[in-house]
Amino acid sequence: MSPATPPMCLLCQTAQSGSDVSLFTARRAGEAGRNGNTVGTYVRADLACAVRARTEIPPWLRERDPEEVAAERTAELEQQLHGFLDAVLR
Ligand SMILES: [Zn+2]
């Protein structure tokens, strides 16, 4: 990752520090995977995205109902995960 790019977990969409973010790759399903094709995404290595989505609320969302914000962020995390899995299975 370029030093000019702030590290970000693309699952929970939170900025992270230093080397906490790693490129996670998965072999694609079927023929593509057997041919060595992979897909990848940058993810915080501790895989605590589900906790962060509910507890690390960005400042611009803090005036809203915390439970509503947590529910939205959890749904967004689920969408990101499904997007990655869709790319693996495509
Ligand atoms: Zn994350």
Q: Where are the domains of the chain?
A: 8-89
Q: How far is the CA of 53 from the centre of ligand 1 (A)?
A: 8
How many Å lie between the centroid of ligand 1 and the Cα of residue 9? 4
Task: Determine contact, residues 11/76, Cβ cutoff 8 Å.
Answer: no
- Ligand 1: distance of its center to the CA of 7 in Å? 11
Tokens of 10: 């693309």
* pLDDT at residue 5 greater than cutoff 80: no
Q: How far is CA 31 from CA 24, 27, 35, 38, 62, in A?
A: 20, 10, 6, 11, 46
Q: What is the mean pLDDT of the chain?
A: 90
CA of 50 to the centre of ligand 1 (A): 7
Q: How confident is the model at residue 16, as a pLDDT?
A: 82
**Banded model confidence at residue 15, pLDDT cuts 50, 70, 90:** confident
Distance 58 CA to ligand 1 centre (A): 14
Give the pLDDT mean for 1-10: 73
Q: How many residues does the chain have?
A: 90
Q: What is the pLDDT of residue 64?
A: 94
Looking at residue 33, the DSSP 8-state letter turns out to be H
pTM value is 0.82
Ligand 1 center–CA 51 separation, angstroms: 9
Phi, psi of 3 (to 5 degrees): -65, -20
When pLDDT is cut at 50, 70 and 90, the band that residue 37 belongs to is: very high
